[in-house]
């Protein structure tokens, strides 16, 4: 049984690496955008209106200095505001904005995605409430990628809220799905070899 749990943890960590990489790229990109100024020039007499970029497209736009830690190989370092034994898979925080984002990944059977979502949402709600009572803003994003590669709606929502949209979101979801599917294949293949 413990060997099976180790395999499931291995699959979870494979998908988590991909998810962390996608979020890290967005975090870095958001930090770079803050530093650049945007000027759009229009020809004289051109009747088109200049669209101003929207003020906030992502939770990450609310602060400039975000730190991120991922719970791979049990090395998660959390901000001091979290005094709890719970360890979300990915934690982003900004001391400047007093904000924290927690992402909790699950790789269940496809028909169990909604159950996994509800279970993780409830599990981390007390932690989020505790953080909010200390004057911080807290968000919890349970994310599910089915072991057969099916991305649950929670995955699409989390990426959108984090500012990952359009082609980048679609490509990111495809990466997560492919990783889950390939990892599951290797688990089944390894199991067949042991029989």
Q: Which domain holds residue 87?
A: 2-32+57-189
Local confidence band at 144 (pLDDT 50, 70, 90 cut-offs): very high
Listed in sequence order, the residues at least 6 apart from 119 whose beta carbon sits closer than 8 Å to its beta carbon are none
Percentage of the residues of the chain whose pLDDT score is greater than 70: 77
The answer to the question of residue 194 being in a domain is no
pLDDT at residue number 194: 56
The CATH number given to whatever domain includes residue 101 is 3.40.91
State in Å, rounded, how far the first CA of the chain is from the last one.
15
Measured distance CA(92)–CA(67) in Å, rounded? 5
Nearest 5°: the CA angle 58, 59, 62 is: 105
**Residue 123 included in any domain:** yes
Compute the average pLDDT of residues 7-12. Answer: 86
**DSSP-assigned letters across all residues of 120-156:** HHHHHHHHHHHHHHTT-EEEEEEEEB-TTSPBPHHHH
Min mean pLDDT across 25-34, 39-48, 131-140, 151-160 is at 39-48
Question: Does any domain span residue 124?
Answer: yes
Closest CA to 120 of 133, 107, 111, 109: 107
Looking at per-residue confidence, does 38 or 166 come out higher? 166
Q: Is the dihedral of CA 104, 110, 112, 118 positive or negative?
A: positive
Structure confidence at residue 36 (pLDDT):
46
The pLDDT confidence band at residue 151, using thresholds 50, 70 and 90, is very high
d(CA 51, CA 63): 23
Residue 100 lies in a domain: yes
| 40 in a structural domain | no
What's the pLDDT at 189?
A: 67
Provide the domain count of the chain. 1
Q: What is the pLDDT of residue 1?
A: 42
Give me the sign of the Cα torsion angle 118, 120, 123, 125: negative
The strand order across the sheet containing 67-70 reads 67-70, 90-94, 99-106, 137-144
Cα angle 66, 146, 139; round to 5:
30
pTM of the model: 0.81
Hey, which residues does 100 pair with through a beta bridge? 93, 138
On the 0-12 / 13-18 / 19+ scale of CB atoms within 10 A, 159 is buried
Q: What is the pLDDT of residue 2?
A: 40
Residue 169 inside a domain? The answer is yes
pLDDT in tens, 86-107: 889 999 999 989 999 999 999 9
Q: Per the domain annotation, does 140 fall within a domain?
A: yes
For residue 48, tell me if it sits in a domain: no
Question: What pLDDT is stored for residue 149 in this prediction?
Answer: 92
């Amino acid at each position: 049984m413990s060997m099976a749990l180790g395999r499931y943890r291995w699959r979870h960590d494979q998908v988590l690496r991909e998810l962390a990489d996608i979020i890290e790229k967005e975090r870095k990109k958001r930090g770079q955008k803050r530093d650049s100024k945007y000027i759009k020039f229009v020809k004289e007499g051109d009747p088109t209106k200049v669209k101003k970029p929207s003020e906030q497209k992502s939770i990450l736009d609310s602060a400039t200095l975000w730190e991120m830690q991922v719970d791979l190989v049990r090395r998660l370092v959390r901000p001091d505001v979290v005094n709890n034994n719970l360890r979300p898979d990915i934690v982003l925080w900004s001391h400047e904005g007093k904000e924290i984002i927690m992402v909790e990944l699950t790789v269940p059977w496809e028909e169990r995605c909604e159950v996994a979502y509800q279970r993780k949402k409830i599990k981390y709600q007390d932690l989020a409430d505790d953080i909010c009572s200390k004057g911080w803003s807290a968000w919890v994003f349970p994310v599910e990628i089915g072991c057969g590669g099916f991305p649950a709606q929670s995955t699409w929502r989390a990426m959108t809220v984090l500012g990952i949209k359009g082609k980048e979101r679609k490509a990111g979801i495809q990466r997560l799905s492919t990783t889950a599917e390939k990892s599951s294949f290797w688990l089944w293949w390894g199991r067949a070899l042991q029989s």
